[in-house]
Copies of this chain bind each other. A is one copy, B any other.
């Protein structure tokens, strides 16, 4: 069995910093976690918030703290740091090789899709963003690691794509079509979803956009772990 995780991420049009922060961290008892936060508003202020949240969560996960406890801790921390005045959306998607499960933790009204056995389930139960009050709880779903599972998680930049042009992005239908047609590789799936969102915003993304796709494949090709990062260099970077 092999787990594949693909991420595609872009900034709001004409802003140099994304308010979305995403990190992947190894779990001390086996597996990896993807932590995605979307800070309120966009640009530098939002980046500071989402970075603060993600950093707190990854440091706790790396110490062996469970996902739900890490999300609660990040909420209390943000509440204390910013006096409850700033919110952030937080998602944690963990491949837990200790328990053989996928764990999806949501403090984010934006839904998460789980495709399994030719059915797409939409995890969209109530899940408040963190940081604005005490006792905010995450919504947690745990699934067995089963080959053929695809999980798609994204920030509200995708959800609201096209809004200002009177269009809406039906991610579930697009996903269903893509999975039925050709079941494309992980990265291609992430790219297709992000590209459609960018098109709906007429090539000028109206918000930061991040999408994460996790696939559980039946066979591994070998026992080698691989990672690939592609980082376009923005034109503002000082080059000699």
Question: Total interface residues on A, using CB and 8 Å?
Answer: 56
Copy number of this protein in the oligomer?
2
With both beta carbons as reference points, the residue of chain B lying nearest to A25 in the complex is identified as B23
Q: A2-B231, A55-B59, A97-B234 are in contact. Are A224 and B10 (CB under 8 A)?
A: yes
**Interface-centre pick from A221, A222, A231 (highest chain B CB count, 10 A):** A231
Cβ-defined contact, A145 with B237, below 8 A: yes
Interface residues of A in 95-109 (CB under 8 A from B): 95, 97, 99-100
Contacting pair B230 A100 (CB below 8 A):
no
CB contact between A6 and one of B11, B220, B228 (< 8 Å): that residue: B228
In the complex, which residues of chain B have a beta carbon less than 8 angstroms from the beta carbon of A28?
A: 51
A90 contacts partner chain B, Cβ-Cβ < 8 Å: no
Would you give the 0/1 interface string for A118-139, flagging 1 where the beta carbon is closer than 8 Å to chain B?
0000000000000000000000
Say yes or no: A233-B9 contact (C-beta < 8 A), given A28-B51, A62-B55, A239-B144: no
- Pull 6 A–B residue pairs with CB atoms less than 8 Å apart, ordered by A: A8-B224, A24-B229, A28-B51, A31-B231, A97-B237, A100-B239
Lowest 4 CB-CB distances: which A-B pairs, in order?
A220-B232, A1-B233, A7-B227, A5-B229
